[in-house]
Every structure is written in structure tokens, then in C-alpha cells.
Amino acid sequence: MFVDGGAMLIIAERINATRKRIGDALAVRDAAFLQEEARRQAQAGVDYIDVNAALSPKEEQKLMVWAVETIRAATGKPLCIDTANPKAAKAGLKLLPKGSAFLNSISGEKARLRAMLPLAVEFETRVVALAMDDSGMPDSCAARWRAIEKILSAADKARLPRERIFIDPLVRPIATDPDQAAQCLEMIRDLRAKGGGVQTIVGLSNISYGLPERQHLNRAFLTLAIAAGLSAAILDPLEPDLRATALAASCLTGQDPYCMNYIQAQREGQL
């Protein structure tokens, strides 16, 4: 959900090799299954479809190429290339129109930043930037800011426009750390105020990991995050009512002027 003329961007998360059925489809090159999954997500009204083909380190580059070609044959939705492997990332991005893609992701880790940032510049992508560095997963807002400052410094030197950078404050499960939701909301507000034009993004389902009836927590956190100024989310668009929650929250926070996106979604049967 990226603020682009008032519109909110949704990145669909379901085509990910860590999901058993997707992993199985990648392993046997089941094009029909993958294309149907892509079409279902596109029909749910998403803006990007995430593509993670990290089934095997040795096969990831080839699988990424196959997955991107297969999905593009089924839908014209823009893609989000999701990998920590720079060779796989480049192979996927080369198949897409320059300036059309998301790259998921870079971070403040020196090696990852050095390998992935040039790809975002070369292919003119939007980019998910994880708020972590070589110290590991952050446990405070201060630790997140240290990583973010490293990312922004490198991005500024590379002349990657800040509005194409989507900072992920790294949502962690509230089941194991009750303070994480509040910390992420604080980071979203701070980045909007102090980030010099950067956007914000979360992997929504992380907040509810390990808890029952996760959909309630996902919807509540999404509403709170949009109210805090969230720009984007990676989520399951087939989760009941989640898209409607996002659209309604955008209306109520003024991010959907005159509720035009909400009205259009209703006309298209997406509510």
C-alpha cells in the first residue's frame, strides 16, 4: 500500500517457496497451479504480486526466471522480486519493464547492501529495506534507526530516490514480544515525520504468528498501522475482509480522497 496520488499499494504474499503448496509447484514446474494462484491474487485487487522462488540455493536463479515468465503469462500485474540472492534478483528483474518492479529486499547489512542496492538503481525499482544491520534483528527503535541511517546514507550516495525506499521496521510476533507492535507503530510515525520522503511497509502476518484466529489480529494491526501513516503492506489478499479493512482505513485516515478507491473496489466486487 504505497501512497501514490492517494492510492494504497498492496503486495500479495502467497507465491512464496516457504508455503508447502507453492514449494511443491515450483519443484515440479506446475505452471497451471502457479498461474491460477497469481490470477486469484490479481483479481483480489492487489498492486504487486510477490515472487519468492527460494526452494533451493542451487536452483533459485533458474526457478526465479521460470516463475516470473509463468506468472507474467497469466497476469499483467507488476511483480515484487523477493530474494536475498543477487543473481536470482537480477535474473528476475531483467525480465520486467524497467521501473515497474519492487525489489524485496535490501538491509543495512554491509554485504547485502553492497550486492542488492545497485540492482535497485539499475532497474529503477521500488525497494523494501529491512531495518536491520550486521548486529542482527533489532530489539528497539534506536537499533532500527541505526540500521535505517546506514541504508539511507548508502542510498543517497547511489542516488536512489527516497520515495522509492520502503522501510520495513520488522514486525515481530506479539506472542513472543508484546512490545513489538507498539515499537513498529512508533517507527512508522517517526519515519513519516523524519524520513525525508521514505515510505513504510510491513509484512503483516508476522504480527500474529503463533496465535489462534490470526485474522483478527492482522486486521486490527493493519488499521492501527494505516492510522500511523503506513505506506505499504505485504499480505494475503485472499484473507477474508482484509482488503476491505485496508480500503476502509485508508478512507478514514484521508489517504483515499473522496473514497474513490473504496468506491471503485465496490464496483469491481472486491468488497
For the segment 57-75, what is each residue's pLDDT rounded down to a tens digit?
Answer: 999 999 999 999 999 999 9
Measured CA to CA, the distance from residue 19 to residue 8 in angstroms comes to 26
**pLDDT lower than 70: segments of the chain:** 1-7
Helix/strand/coil (H/E/C) assignment for every residue in the chain: CCCECCECEEEECCCECCCHHHHHHHHHCCHHHHHHHHHHHHHCCCCEEEEECCCCCCCHHHHHHHHHHHHHCCCCCCEEEECCCHHHHHHHHCCCCCCCCEEEEEECCHHHHHHHHHHHHHCCCEEEEECCECCECCCCHHHHHHHHHHHHHHHHHHCCCHHHEEEECCCCCCCCCCCHHHHHHHHHHHHHHHCCCCEEEEEHHHHHCCCCCHHHHHHHHHHHHHHHCCCEEEECCCCCCHHHHHHHHHHHCCCCHHHHHHHHHHHCCCC
Measured CA to CA, the distance from residue 128 to residue 144 in angstroms comes to 14
- Residue for grid cell 468506491: 263
The whole-number pLDDT of residue 243 equals 87
The whole-number pLDDT of residue 1 equals 35
User: What's 9-267's CATH class?
Assistant: alpha beta
Measured CA to CA, the distance from residue 198 to residue 110 in angstroms comes to 20
The whole-number pLDDT of residue 180 equals 87
Amino acid at 6: G
Q: What is the CA 251 to chain-centroid distance, rounded?
A: 21
The whole-number pLDDT of residue 7 equals 59
The whole-number pLDDT of residue 139 equals 87
CA proximity to 1, closest of 191, 261, 266: 261
The whole-number pLDDT of residue 8 equals 72
**Residue range 212-238, pLDDT digits in tens:** 999 999 999 999 999 999 999 999 999
CA proximity to 231, closest of 253, 211, 212, 261: 253
The domain locations on the chain are: 9-267
The whole-number pLDDT of residue 116 equals 98
The whole-number pLDDT of residue 265 equals 87
Instruction: Let me know if 97 is exposed, middle or buried by CB neighbors in 10 A (0-12, 13-18, 19+).
Output: exposed
Helix/strand/coil (H/E/C) assignment for every residue in 233-258: EEECCCCCCHHHHHHHHHHHCCCCHH
Contact 245, 219 (CB under 8 A): yes
